[in-house]
Chains A and B, each alone.
Chain A
Amino acid sequence: MSETWIIIGGWFAAGLTIFMFSFLYKDNPFFKIAEHLYLGAGMGWLFQVSLYDVWIPQVWDPIMQGKLLVIVPALLGLSLVAQFFPKISWVSRYGFTFVMGYGAGLAIPAVLSTDFMSQVAGTIEPIFKIGGTFNTVSAWTSAFNAFFIFFGLICVLFYFFFSVEHKGMVKKASTVGIYFLMLYFGAVFGNTVMGRFSLLYGRFDDLYFYSSSKYFYASQIIALALVIYFIIEHFTSKKRKIQQEAK
Protein backbone atom coordinates (compact mmCIF):
# COMPACT_ATOMS: atom_id res chain seq x y z
CA MET A 1 0.00 0.00 0.00
CA SER A 2 1.37 3.36 -1.00
CA GLU A 3 1.71 6.34 1.30
CA THR A 4 -1.39 7.91 -0.29
CA TRP A 5 -3.47 4.90 0.68
CA ILE A 6 -2.21 5.10 4.25
CA ILE A 7 -3.29 8.75 4.40
CA ILE A 8 -6.69 7.86 2.93
CA GLY A 9 -6.87 5.12 5.59
CA GLY A 10 -6.17 7.70 8.25
CA TRP A 11 -9.11 9.77 6.99
CA PHE A 12 -11.34 6.70 7.06
CA ALA A 13 -10.25 5.79 10.59
CA ALA A 14 -10.63 9.31 11.95
CA GLY A 15 -13.97 9.74 10.19
CA LEU A 16 -15.50 6.48 11.34
CA THR A 17 -14.30 7.07 14.92
CA ILE A 18 -15.87 10.54 15.02
CA PHE A 19 -19.09 9.26 13.39
CA MET A 20 -19.38 6.62 16.13
CA PHE A 21 -18.77 9.15 18.89
CA SER A 22 -21.29 11.58 17.38
CA PHE A 23 -24.03 9.40 18.90
CA LEU A 24 -23.05 10.76 22.31
CA TYR A 25 -24.41 14.14 21.23
CA LYS A 26 -27.47 12.69 19.55
CA ASP A 27 -28.56 10.06 17.08
CA ASN A 28 -27.71 11.01 13.49
CA PRO A 29 -27.28 9.49 10.03
CA PHE A 30 -23.47 9.39 10.24
CA PHE A 31 -23.59 7.24 13.34
CA LYS A 32 -26.15 4.95 11.72
CA ILE A 33 -23.94 4.51 8.67
CA ALA A 34 -20.94 3.63 10.84
CA GLU A 35 -23.02 1.27 12.96
CA HIS A 36 -24.31 -0.64 9.93
CA LEU A 37 -20.87 -0.73 8.35
CA TYR A 38 -19.59 -2.30 11.58
CA LEU A 39 -22.20 -5.08 11.42
CA GLY A 40 -21.28 -5.88 7.83
CA ALA A 41 -17.53 -5.52 8.26
CA GLY A 42 -17.59 -7.75 11.37
CA MET A 43 -19.37 -10.49 9.46
CA GLY A 44 -17.15 -10.01 6.43
CA TRP A 45 -14.05 -10.35 8.56
CA LEU A 46 -15.37 -13.49 10.25
CA PHE A 47 -16.24 -14.92 6.84
CA GLN A 48 -12.85 -14.31 5.28
CA VAL A 49 -10.96 -15.68 8.31
CA SER A 50 -13.12 -18.82 8.33
CA LEU A 51 -12.60 -19.20 4.59
CA TYR A 52 -8.82 -18.85 4.53
CA ASP A 53 -7.98 -20.35 7.94
CA VAL A 54 -10.44 -23.25 8.20
CA TRP A 55 -12.50 -24.08 5.14
CA ILE A 56 -9.72 -24.03 2.54
CA PRO A 57 -6.89 -25.66 4.54
CA GLN A 58 -9.00 -28.04 6.62
CA VAL A 59 -11.83 -29.00 4.27
CA TRP A 60 -11.09 -28.09 0.64
CA ASP A 61 -7.41 -29.04 0.50
CA PRO A 62 -7.87 -32.49 2.13
CA ILE A 63 -10.76 -33.27 -0.24
CA MET A 64 -8.56 -32.31 -3.18
CA GLN A 65 -5.89 -34.65 -1.83
CA GLY A 66 -8.42 -37.46 -1.72
CA LYS A 67 -8.96 -37.50 2.05
CA LEU A 68 -12.71 -37.82 1.71
CA LEU A 69 -13.56 -38.52 5.35
CA VAL A 70 -13.49 -34.79 6.00
CA ILE A 71 -16.75 -34.52 4.06
CA VAL A 72 -18.60 -35.94 7.09
CA PRO A 73 -17.91 -33.06 9.52
CA ALA A 74 -18.31 -30.56 6.66
CA LEU A 75 -21.80 -31.90 5.96
CA LEU A 76 -22.61 -31.91 9.66
CA GLY A 77 -21.44 -28.29 9.79
CA LEU A 78 -23.54 -27.37 6.77
CA SER A 79 -26.51 -29.11 8.37
CA LEU A 80 -26.59 -26.30 10.94
CA VAL A 81 -27.80 -23.97 8.20
CA ALA A 82 -30.96 -26.12 7.87
CA GLN A 83 -32.26 -24.21 10.90
CA PHE A 84 -33.30 -21.51 8.47
CA PHE A 85 -35.72 -23.69 6.60
CA PRO A 86 -38.60 -24.76 8.89
CA LYS A 87 -39.40 -27.91 6.90
CA ILE A 88 -35.95 -29.41 7.24
CA SER A 89 -34.79 -27.63 10.40
CA TRP A 90 -34.53 -30.99 12.16
CA VAL A 91 -31.53 -31.86 9.98
CA SER A 92 -29.51 -29.28 11.93
CA ARG A 93 -29.89 -31.42 15.05
CA TYR A 94 -27.25 -33.80 13.73
CA GLY A 95 -24.64 -31.06 13.67
CA PHE A 96 -25.65 -29.84 17.09
CA THR A 97 -25.67 -33.33 18.68
CA PHE A 98 -21.99 -33.77 17.92
CA VAL A 99 -20.96 -30.40 19.24
CA MET A 100 -23.22 -30.57 22.31
CA GLY A 101 -22.46 -34.17 23.25
CA TYR A 102 -18.73 -33.70 22.82
CA GLY A 103 -18.73 -30.38 24.71
CA ALA A 104 -20.83 -31.74 27.56
CA GLY A 105 -18.70 -34.88 27.87
CA LEU A 106 -15.49 -32.88 28.15
CA ALA A 107 -16.97 -30.17 30.36
CA ILE A 108 -18.14 -32.38 33.23
CA PRO A 109 -14.74 -33.66 34.44
CA ALA A 110 -12.99 -30.41 33.54
CA VAL A 111 -15.21 -28.02 35.48
CA LEU A 112 -15.63 -30.36 38.42
CA SER A 113 -11.89 -30.73 38.73
CA THR A 114 -10.83 -27.13 38.02
CA ASP A 115 -13.62 -25.04 39.46
CA PHE A 116 -14.92 -27.30 42.21
CA MET A 117 -12.41 -29.80 43.64
CA SER A 118 -9.35 -27.60 43.12
CA GLN A 119 -11.12 -24.63 44.69
CA VAL A 120 -12.12 -26.62 47.76
CA ALA A 121 -8.53 -27.88 48.01
CA GLY A 122 -7.20 -24.37 47.47
CA THR A 123 -9.21 -23.15 50.45
CA ILE A 124 -8.27 -25.94 52.84
CA GLU A 125 -4.58 -26.49 51.94
CA PRO A 126 -3.31 -23.13 53.26
CA ILE A 127 -4.93 -23.86 56.64
CA PHE A 128 -3.06 -27.14 56.96
CA LYS A 129 0.16 -25.44 56.00
CA ILE A 130 -0.08 -23.13 59.01
CA GLY A 131 2.45 -24.18 61.60
CA GLY A 132 5.95 -23.62 62.88
CA THR A 133 6.87 -20.57 64.82
CA PHE A 134 4.85 -17.42 64.57
CA ASN A 135 7.72 -15.03 64.96
CA THR A 136 7.23 -12.94 61.84
CA VAL A 137 4.44 -10.61 60.80
CA SER A 138 4.06 -12.40 57.48
CA ALA A 139 3.51 -15.76 59.22
CA TRP A 140 0.68 -14.20 61.20
CA THR A 141 -0.87 -12.47 58.19
CA SER A 142 -0.78 -15.56 55.99
CA ALA A 143 -2.43 -17.59 58.77
CA PHE A 144 -5.07 -14.89 59.17
CA ASN A 145 -5.65 -14.69 55.39
CA ALA A 146 -6.02 -18.48 55.11
CA PHE A 147 -8.73 -18.50 57.78
CA PHE A 148 -10.33 -15.37 56.40
CA ILE A 149 -10.72 -16.92 52.92
CA PHE A 150 -12.09 -20.12 54.47
CA PHE A 151 -14.57 -18.17 56.60
CA GLY A 152 -15.55 -15.90 53.68
CA LEU A 153 -16.12 -18.82 51.30
CA ILE A 154 -18.40 -20.58 53.80
CA CYS A 155 -20.44 -17.38 54.28
CA VAL A 156 -20.71 -16.78 50.52
CA LEU A 157 -21.82 -20.37 49.97
CA PHE A 158 -24.51 -19.87 52.63
CA TYR A 159 -25.71 -16.84 50.72
CA PHE A 160 -26.08 -18.94 47.55
CA PHE A 161 -27.60 -21.89 49.41
CA PHE A 162 -31.33 -21.66 48.90
CA SER A 163 -32.36 -25.11 50.13
CA VAL A 164 -32.81 -23.88 53.69
CA GLU A 165 -34.67 -20.82 54.88
CA HIS A 166 -32.35 -17.91 55.64
CA LYS A 167 -32.92 -17.30 59.36
CA GLY A 168 -30.90 -17.52 62.57
CA MET A 169 -27.26 -18.46 62.03
CA VAL A 170 -27.79 -19.11 58.34
CA LYS A 171 -29.06 -15.56 57.89
CA LYS A 172 -26.11 -14.13 59.81
CA ALA A 173 -23.63 -16.12 57.75
CA SER A 174 -25.26 -15.16 54.47
CA THR A 175 -25.26 -11.48 55.52
CA VAL A 176 -21.53 -11.68 56.11
CA GLY A 177 -21.31 -13.42 52.73
CA ILE A 178 -22.91 -10.36 51.12
CA TYR A 179 -20.10 -8.17 52.48
CA PHE A 180 -17.51 -10.42 50.87
CA LEU A 181 -19.43 -10.26 47.61
CA MET A 182 -19.62 -6.47 47.89
CA LEU A 183 -15.85 -6.24 48.31
CA TYR A 184 -15.47 -8.41 45.21
CA PHE A 185 -17.97 -6.43 43.14
CA GLY A 186 -16.39 -3.20 44.33
CA ALA A 187 -13.04 -4.46 43.09
CA VAL A 188 -14.65 -5.45 39.79
CA PHE A 189 -16.26 -2.01 39.45
CA GLY A 190 -12.99 -0.25 40.23
CA ASN A 191 -11.22 -2.30 37.62
CA THR A 192 -14.03 -1.87 35.09
CA VAL A 193 -13.50 1.88 35.26
CA MET A 194 -9.87 1.39 34.28
CA GLY A 195 -10.79 -1.07 31.52
CA ARG A 196 -13.36 1.21 29.90
CA PHE A 197 -11.09 4.24 30.10
CA SER A 198 -8.26 2.30 28.51
CA LEU A 199 -10.44 1.60 25.49
CA LEU A 200 -11.44 5.23 25.21
CA TYR A 201 -7.83 6.30 25.57
CA GLY A 202 -6.99 4.00 22.65
CA ARG A 203 -9.46 5.77 20.37
CA PHE A 204 -8.46 9.28 21.48
CA ASP A 205 -4.83 8.41 20.99
CA ASP A 206 -5.61 7.35 17.41
CA LEU A 207 -7.58 10.55 16.78
CA TYR A 208 -4.60 12.53 18.05
CA PHE A 209 -2.34 10.55 15.73
CA TYR A 210 -4.51 11.32 12.70
CA SER A 211 -4.68 15.01 13.63
CA SER A 212 -1.09 15.55 12.52
CA SER A 213 -0.03 17.43 9.40
CA LYS A 214 1.07 14.11 7.86
CA TYR A 215 -2.60 13.13 7.67
CA PHE A 216 -3.62 16.65 6.64
CA TYR A 217 -5.41 17.27 9.95
CA ALA A 218 -8.02 14.57 9.29
CA SER A 219 -9.41 14.50 12.86
CA GLN A 220 -9.88 18.26 13.18
CA ILE A 221 -11.44 18.74 9.76
CA ILE A 222 -13.93 15.88 10.14
CA ALA A 223 -14.86 16.92 13.69
CA LEU A 224 -15.39 20.49 12.54
CA ALA A 225 -17.53 19.35 9.60
CA LEU A 226 -19.71 17.34 11.96
CA VAL A 227 -20.13 20.30 14.31
CA ILE A 228 -21.24 22.43 11.35
CA TYR A 229 -23.67 19.68 10.36
CA PHE A 230 -25.19 19.66 13.85
CA ILE A 231 -25.55 23.45 13.88
CA ILE A 232 -27.27 23.50 10.48
CA GLU A 233 -29.42 20.54 11.45
CA HIS A 234 -30.41 22.33 14.66
CA PHE A 235 -31.67 25.40 12.81
CA THR A 236 -33.36 23.59 9.94
CA SER A 237 -35.21 21.25 12.29
CA LYS A 238 -36.28 24.27 14.35
CA LYS A 239 -37.54 25.98 11.19
CA ARG A 240 -39.37 22.84 10.15
CA LYS A 241 -41.03 22.65 13.55
CA ILE A 242 -42.23 26.25 13.32
CA GLN A 243 -43.60 25.67 9.83
CA GLN A 244 -45.43 22.56 11.00
CA GLU A 245 -46.92 24.42 13.94
CA ALA A 246 -48.01 27.25 11.64
CA LYS A 247 -49.87 24.78 9.45
Chain B
Amino acid sequence: MKFFKRNLPLVLVFIVGMVTLASYYVPHRASQEVYLDTMNKWVNIIAAFAFLLGLLSLFYSHYHKIKKKADGWGYSLFVYIGFLAMIIPAIVSEGQQLDGPNLTSLGWAFRFIYNTLAATMFSVLAFYIVSTAFRSFRIKSMQAFVLFLAAMVLIMGRVPLGDLLWSKILGWTGMSLADLVEWIMHVPAVAARRGIMIGIAIGAAVISLKIIFGIERQYMGKD
Protein backbone atom coordinates (compact mmCIF):
# COMPACT_ATOMS: atom_id res chain seq x y z
CA MET B 1 0.00 0.00 0.00
CA LYS B 2 2.90 2.29 0.78
CA PHE B 3 3.87 1.93 -2.88
CA PHE B 4 0.55 3.39 -4.05
CA LYS B 5 0.39 5.98 -1.29
CA ARG B 6 3.90 7.37 -1.51
CA ASN B 7 6.29 5.87 -4.03
CA LEU B 8 4.12 5.85 -7.12
CA PRO B 9 3.07 9.52 -6.83
CA LEU B 10 6.74 10.49 -6.38
CA VAL B 11 7.76 8.44 -9.40
CA LEU B 12 4.94 10.02 -11.43
CA VAL B 13 5.91 13.57 -10.49
CA PHE B 14 9.51 12.79 -11.45
CA ILE B 15 8.57 11.32 -14.83
CA VAL B 16 6.03 14.03 -15.71
CA GLY B 17 8.43 16.75 -14.55
CA MET B 18 11.46 15.45 -16.44
CA VAL B 19 9.61 14.71 -19.67
CA THR B 20 7.91 18.11 -19.61
CA LEU B 21 11.25 19.80 -18.93
CA ALA B 22 12.86 17.89 -21.81
CA SER B 23 9.98 18.82 -24.14
CA TYR B 24 11.08 22.46 -23.90
CA TYR B 25 14.29 21.60 -25.72
CA VAL B 26 12.93 18.97 -28.12
CA PRO B 27 11.13 20.50 -31.09
CA HIS B 28 10.14 17.06 -32.48
CA ARG B 29 6.47 16.55 -33.39
CA ALA B 30 6.06 13.78 -30.81
CA SER B 31 7.18 16.11 -28.07
CA GLN B 32 5.15 19.15 -29.10
CA GLU B 33 2.01 17.86 -30.73
CA VAL B 34 1.55 14.56 -28.98
CA TYR B 35 2.95 14.80 -25.46
CA LEU B 36 2.51 18.52 -24.72
CA ASP B 37 -0.88 18.78 -26.46
CA THR B 38 -2.26 15.90 -24.40
CA MET B 39 -0.75 17.19 -21.17
CA ASN B 40 -2.01 20.73 -21.77
CA LYS B 41 -5.57 19.49 -22.20
CA TRP B 42 -5.38 17.15 -19.23
CA VAL B 43 -3.83 19.58 -16.78
CA ASN B 44 -6.35 22.23 -17.80
CA ILE B 45 -9.21 19.87 -16.98
CA ILE B 46 -7.66 18.77 -13.67
CA ALA B 47 -7.26 22.41 -12.64
CA ALA B 48 -10.96 23.02 -13.26
CA PHE B 49 -11.74 20.77 -10.31
CA ALA B 50 -9.26 22.36 -7.90
CA PHE B 51 -11.66 25.05 -6.71
CA LEU B 52 -14.01 22.35 -5.41
CA LEU B 53 -11.61 22.14 -2.45
CA GLY B 54 -12.33 25.77 -1.58
CA LEU B 55 -16.04 25.33 -2.20
CA LEU B 56 -16.36 22.28 0.04
CA SER B 57 -14.31 23.81 2.82
CA LEU B 58 -16.43 26.99 2.75
CA PHE B 59 -19.69 25.04 2.75
CA TYR B 60 -18.51 22.68 5.44
CA SER B 61 -17.38 25.40 7.87
CA HIS B 62 -20.61 27.38 7.49
CA TYR B 63 -22.78 24.27 7.66
CA HIS B 64 -21.04 23.48 10.95
CA LYS B 65 -21.72 26.97 12.26
CA ILE B 66 -25.42 26.69 11.43
CA LYS B 67 -25.69 23.20 12.87
CA LYS B 68 -24.05 24.19 16.15
CA LYS B 69 -25.92 27.48 16.20
CA ALA B 70 -22.59 29.14 16.83
CA ASP B 71 -22.34 32.90 17.40
CA GLY B 72 -23.62 34.72 14.31
CA TRP B 73 -24.79 31.51 12.61
CA GLY B 74 -27.59 33.40 10.90
CA TYR B 75 -25.05 35.17 8.71
CA SER B 76 -23.79 31.82 7.47
CA LEU B 77 -27.15 31.34 5.75
CA PHE B 78 -26.23 34.25 3.50
CA VAL B 79 -23.26 32.29 2.14
CA TYR B 80 -25.73 29.78 0.73
CA ILE B 81 -28.12 32.51 -0.41
CA GLY B 82 -25.25 34.22 -2.27
CA PHE B 83 -24.28 30.92 -3.89
CA LEU B 84 -27.83 30.20 -5.03
CA ALA B 85 -28.20 33.79 -6.25
CA MET B 86 -25.59 32.93 -8.89
CA ILE B 87 -26.36 29.27 -9.58
CA ILE B 88 -30.13 29.48 -10.13
CA PRO B 89 -29.92 32.30 -12.72
CA ALA B 90 -27.02 30.44 -14.35
CA ILE B 91 -29.13 27.32 -14.82
CA VAL B 92 -32.13 29.35 -16.03
CA SER B 93 -30.00 31.25 -18.58
CA GLU B 94 -27.77 28.26 -19.41
CA GLY B 95 -24.63 30.19 -18.53
CA GLN B 96 -25.34 33.01 -20.98
CA GLN B 97 -25.30 36.58 -19.70
CA LEU B 98 -26.70 38.15 -22.80
CA ASP B 99 -29.64 37.06 -24.89
CA GLY B 100 -29.12 39.09 -28.03
CA PRO B 101 -29.03 42.65 -26.76
CA ASN B 102 -30.92 41.76 -23.56
CA LEU B 103 -29.50 41.01 -20.15
CA THR B 104 -30.36 37.53 -18.85
CA SER B 105 -30.98 36.83 -15.17
CA LEU B 106 -27.36 35.65 -14.90
CA GLY B 107 -26.11 38.91 -16.40
CA TRP B 108 -28.33 40.74 -13.91
CA ALA B 109 -26.95 38.75 -10.97
CA PHE B 110 -23.38 39.50 -12.09
CA ARG B 111 -23.84 43.19 -12.71
CA PHE B 112 -25.81 44.11 -9.64
CA ILE B 113 -24.71 41.59 -7.03
CA TYR B 114 -21.34 39.90 -7.64
CA ASN B 115 -19.76 42.88 -9.40
CA THR B 116 -20.93 45.25 -6.66
CA LEU B 117 -19.78 43.08 -3.78
CA ALA B 118 -16.34 42.22 -5.20
CA ALA B 119 -15.59 45.78 -6.29
CA THR B 120 -16.66 47.35 -3.00
CA MET B 121 -14.79 44.81 -0.89
CA PHE B 122 -11.48 45.86 -2.42
CA SER B 123 -12.22 49.56 -2.72
CA VAL B 124 -12.42 49.83 1.08
CA LEU B 125 -8.62 49.49 1.12
CA ALA B 126 -8.34 53.08 -0.17
CA PHE B 127 -9.53 54.35 3.21
CA TYR B 128 -6.95 52.36 5.09
CA ILE B 129 -4.05 53.40 2.87
CA VAL B 130 -4.86 57.04 3.63
CA SER B 131 -5.20 56.59 7.37
CA THR B 132 -2.03 54.47 7.46
CA ALA B 133 -0.16 57.10 5.46
CA PHE B 134 -1.17 59.67 8.07
CA ARG B 135 -0.41 57.55 11.12
CA SER B 136 2.58 55.46 10.11
CA PHE B 137 4.50 57.10 7.25
CA ARG B 138 7.38 58.41 9.35
CA ILE B 139 10.37 60.01 7.66
CA LYS B 140 12.89 59.05 10.30
CA SER B 141 15.95 58.21 8.20
CA MET B 142 17.61 59.09 4.93
CA GLN B 143 16.27 55.87 3.42
CA ALA B 144 12.71 56.70 4.45
CA PHE B 145 13.20 60.17 2.98
CA VAL B 146 14.25 58.69 -0.37
CA LEU B 147 11.18 56.46 -0.29
CA PHE B 148 9.00 59.48 0.45
CA LEU B 149 10.54 61.52 -2.37
CA ALA B 150 9.94 58.78 -4.92
CA ALA B 151 6.39 58.31 -3.64
CA MET B 152 5.73 62.04 -3.76
CA VAL B 153 6.93 62.39 -7.34
CA LEU B 154 4.80 59.43 -8.40
CA ILE B 155 1.69 60.57 -6.51
CA MET B 156 1.94 64.02 -8.09
CA GLY B 157 2.88 62.72 -11.51
CA ARG B 158 -0.24 60.57 -11.73
CA VAL B 159 -2.76 63.42 -11.83
CA PRO B 160 -3.09 66.47 -14.08
CA LEU B 161 -3.12 68.79 -11.06
CA GLY B 162 0.40 67.60 -10.14
CA ASP B 163 1.67 68.38 -13.65
CA LEU B 164 0.06 71.80 -13.50
CA LEU B 165 1.57 72.71 -10.13
CA TRP B 166 5.01 71.41 -11.08
CA SER B 167 5.12 73.44 -14.28
CA LYS B 168 4.01 76.55 -12.37
CA ILE B 169 6.54 76.20 -9.54
CA LEU B 170 9.43 74.21 -11.03
CA GLY B 171 8.87 74.86 -14.73
CA TRP B 172 12.03 77.01 -14.84
CA THR B 173 14.19 73.88 -14.32
CA GLY B 174 13.34 72.73 -17.84
CA MET B 175 12.48 69.26 -16.53
CA SER B 176 8.86 68.18 -16.52
CA LEU B 177 7.33 66.06 -13.78
CA ALA B 178 6.55 63.39 -16.37
CA ASP B 179 10.28 63.16 -17.27
CA LEU B 180 11.17 62.61 -13.65
CA VAL B 181 8.47 59.93 -13.22
CA GLU B 182 9.71 58.18 -16.35
CA TRP B 183 13.32 58.29 -15.13
CA ILE B 184 12.47 56.77 -11.74
CA MET B 185 10.41 54.03 -13.40
CA HIS B 186 12.94 53.29 -16.15
CA VAL B 187 16.25 53.53 -14.32
CA PRO B 188 16.50 53.03 -10.53
CA ALA B 189 13.23 51.04 -10.34
CA VAL B 190 14.50 48.74 -13.13
CA ALA B 191 17.75 48.08 -11.24
CA ALA B 192 15.93 47.27 -8.00
CA ARG B 193 13.19 45.22 -9.61
CA ARG B 194 15.74 43.24 -11.63
CA GLY B 195 17.60 42.31 -8.46
CA ILE B 196 14.35 41.05 -6.94
CA MET B 197 13.40 39.25 -10.18
CA ILE B 198 16.70 37.41 -10.47
CA GLY B 199 16.41 36.30 -6.85
CA ILE B 200 12.86 35.01 -7.33
CA ALA B 201 13.81 33.25 -10.61
CA ILE B 202 16.60 31.30 -8.94
CA GLY B 203 14.29 30.47 -6.03
CA ALA B 204 11.49 29.28 -8.34
CA ALA B 205 13.84 27.11 -10.39
CA VAL B 206 15.27 25.51 -7.25
CA ILE B 207 11.79 24.80 -5.80
CA SER B 208 10.70 23.29 -9.13
CA LEU B 209 13.74 21.00 -9.14
CA LYS B 210 13.01 20.01 -5.55
CA ILE B 211 9.44 19.10 -6.54
CA ILE B 212 10.60 17.01 -9.49
CA PHE B 213 13.16 15.15 -7.37
CA GLY B 214 10.68 14.59 -4.55
CA ILE B 215 12.54 16.66 -1.96
CA GLU B 216 9.71 19.17 -1.68
CA ARG B 217 6.57 17.19 -0.79
CA GLN B 218 4.29 19.63 0.94
CA TYR B 219 1.65 19.27 -1.78
CA MET B 220 1.35 15.58 -0.81
CA GLY B 221 -0.02 16.40 2.64
CA LYS B 222 0.66 14.17 5.63
CA ASP B 223 1.01 10.41 5.47
Contacts and interface: CB of A to CB of B under 8 A. Distances in A.
A16 B192 contact: no
B120 A115 contact: no
A89 B221 contact: yes
Given A73-B45, A93-B9, A104 B86 contact: no
B112 A196 contact: no
A108 interface: yes
Contact of A21 (B13, B86, B106, B124): B124
B218 to A, nearest CB: 10
A187 B209 contact: no
A103 to B, nearest CB: 8
Indicate the member of A70, A101, A152, A159 with the most B CB atoms within 10 Å.
A101
Contacts of B25: 109
Nearest to A200: B126
B75 A32 contact: yes
A230 interface: no
A220 B64 CA distance: 38
Nearest to A194: B158
Contact of B147 (A78, A99, A145, A186): A186
Interface in B32-50: 39, 41-50
A72 interface: yes
B105 A43 contact: no
A36 B80 CA distance: 9
Interface residues of A, number: 117
Interface stretch (A50-58, A163-171, A221-229, A231-239): A50-58
B78 A157 contact: no
Interface in A13-57: 13, 16-17, 20-21, 23-24, 29, 32-55
A178 B194 contact: no
B104 A1 contact: yes
A84 B201 contact: no
A37 B113 contact: yes
A187 B182 CA distance: 11
B49 A101 contact: no
Contacts of A178: 143
B192 A41 contact: no
A99 B124 contact: no
A40 B79 contact: yes
Nearest to B143: A182
Contacts of B86: 40-41, 44-45, 47-48
A80 B147 CA distance: 45
Nearest to B85: A41
Given A32-B75, A98-B12, A156 B201 contact: no
Contact of A203 (B120, B189, B192, B220): B120
B67 interface: no
A186 B79 contact: no
Given A39-B58, A102-B17, A77 B46 contact: yes
Interface of B: 4-6, 9-10, 12-21, 23-25, 39, 41-58, 60, 72, 75-87, 90, 94-95, 102-127, 129, 133, 143-144, 146-155, 157-159, 183-202, 204-205, 207-209, 211-212, 219-221, 223
3 nearest A-B residue pairs (beta carbon) = A190-B154, A40-B82, A186-B150
21 contacts: A21-B124, A42-B117, A44-B83, A48-B86, A95-B49, A100-B13, A104-B21, A105-B19, A105-B212, A115-B200, A116-B197, A150-B191, A152-B187, A153-B191, A156-B191, A184-B193, A189-B154, A193-B158, A194-B159, A199-B125, A206-B119
Interface of A: 1, 5-6, 9-10, 12-13, 16-17, 20-21, 23-24, 29, 32-55, 58-59, 70, 72-74, 76-78, 80-81, 83-84, 89-90, 92-112, 114-116, 119-120, 122-123, 145, 148-153, 155-157, 159-160, 177-187, 189-194, 196-197, 199-200, 202-203, 206
Given A99-B47, A196-B123, 14 more contacts: A37-B113, A77-B45, A77-B48, A92-B221, A97-B13, A99-B46, A102-B39, A103-B208, A104-B209, A180-B191, A190-B153, A193-B129, A194-B155, A196-B126
